[in-house]
Amino acid sequence: METSQITNNHLMFLVAAYSLVWIMISGYVFVLSRRNKKLEKQVEDFERRLAKHGVSSDS
Amino acid sequence: MSMKNTIHFVVLFAVMQMALVWALYIAPPDALQGHVQRIFYFHLGSIWPGFLAFFYVLYGSIRYLISRDLIWDRKSLVSGEIGLVFCSIVLTTGPVWAKPTWGVYWAWDARLTSTLVLWLVFFAYVNLREYIDDDSKRPRISAVLGIVGALMVPFVYMSTRIFETQHPKPVVMGDAESGIRHPDMNIALYLSLFAFTLLYIYLWRQGVKQMLTEDRLKKLRAQLLRLEGH
């Protein structure tokens, strides 16, 4: 195998490793943001329902 | 987003970009391994904050067992979750780097095996608590598991010194003959360590905020149940 071909193959490993880093970080950030959206929605819903009973959510 | 969070995010973004530029462009390629050695900067860069995250689990779990204050359970859980993500990065980038340098993706040596066991312990720490129904037992069992997991970290670190391993000796705080020499290689390494530490702190703060919102929701739900009577 020629040296340039070996280098190119090795560059593929470099690209793969850095892609994996960003896929995993993005995946975790995605999970966090999805969880956040769900929580915000629930807080809004509960606050609205509590307000119907004349109760403030801070109390 | 608060001003503090915005500043933290901007600094994190800038340091991460600098780390990438140094790791992929400015640092010279390794004399033996060539460009593929650049994997090292983010491979090691992610495990150090990962270890930091696990040590925080140790600290938070001990604080929980002493005080029984649930905030320490929540803070430890978030830290364990982030540590698990960073440990996953190490366990996946490692084999990708190993293939072109060792000729195999995986070797069952002490370092790789102990890191895999560490990952499994924290995977259990993060996920098994969902299966414990008793609210009072859950944080206690988690704390004990978290302490056991975190106490494995020194062994994982020392494994390359205690045993003959395929994995190289430590670069940071390692022996005189191990490590990197070129100043730009050192800058790339320390920048990525700093970037991942900032990332850990940023994610941890967001995670703790979410956990506290979840606790608030539980209280609101209980309040609603009393009012609506079902």
Contacts of A7 in chain B (CB under 8 A): 34-35
B211: contact with A, CB 8 A cutoff = no
The CA distance from B169 to B184, in Å, is 21
pLDDT above 70 coverage of chain B, percent: 94
**Rounded to a whole number, what is the distance in Å from the CA of A20 to chain B's nearest CA?**
7
Q: Given this model, what pLDDT does residue B173 score?
A: 54
Q: How far is CA A13 from CA A31, B52, B97, B105, B123, in A?
A: 27, 28, 7, 11, 27
Q: Is B162 a residue whose pLDDT tops 90?
A: no
The CA distance from B222 to B42, in Å, is 45
Torsional sign, CA B149, B154, B159, B160: positive
Mean pLDDT of chain B: 90
What is the rounded average pLDDT of the residues A40-47?
88
pLDDT band, residue B15 (cuts 50/70/90): very high
Instruction: Kindly tell me the burial class for residue B222, based on how many C-beta atoms sit within 10 Å of its own C-beta (0-12, 13-18, 19 or more).
Output: exposed
**Rounded to a whole number, what is the distance in Å from the CA of B217 to chain A's nearest CA?**
6
Q: Given this model, what pLDDT does residue B227 score?
A: 81
Q: How far is CA B123 from CA B83, B118, B141, B184, in A?
A: 10, 9, 14, 36
Domain residue ranges in chain B: 14-170+179-208
Contact B89 A35 (CB under 8 A): no
Q: Is A1 a residue whose pLDDT tops 70?
A: no
B192: contact with A, CB 8 A cutoff = no
What would the pLDDT profile of B55-94 be if each residue is shown by its tens digit?
999 999 999 999 999 999 999 999 999 999 999 999 999 9
Residue of A nearest to B105 (CA): A13
* Cα-Cα end-to-end distance for chain B: 36
Among candidates A7, A39, A53 on the partner chain, residue whose Cβ is nearest the Cβ of B214? A39
What would the pLDDT profile of B173-214 be if each residue is shown by its tens digit?
555 555 677 899 999 999 999 999 999 999 999 999 999 898
The shares of helix, strand and coil residues in chain B, as percent rounded to the nearest 5, are: 80, 0, 20
Task: Say what the ipTM of the complex is.
Answer: 0.85
Contact B227 A39 (CB under 8 A): no
Contact B85 A28 (CB under 8 A): yes
B24: contact with A, CB 8 A cutoff = yes
Token pair in block for residue B70: 């649930």
Instruction: Kindly tell me the burial class for residue B87, based on how many C-beta atoms sit within 10 Å of its own C-beta (0-12, 13-18, 19 or more).
Output: buried
The CA distance from B127 to B119, in Å, is 12
pLDDT above 90 coverage of chain A, percent: 49
Q: Given this model, what pLDDT does residue B175 score?
A: 57
Contacts of B24 in chain A (CB under 8 A): 18
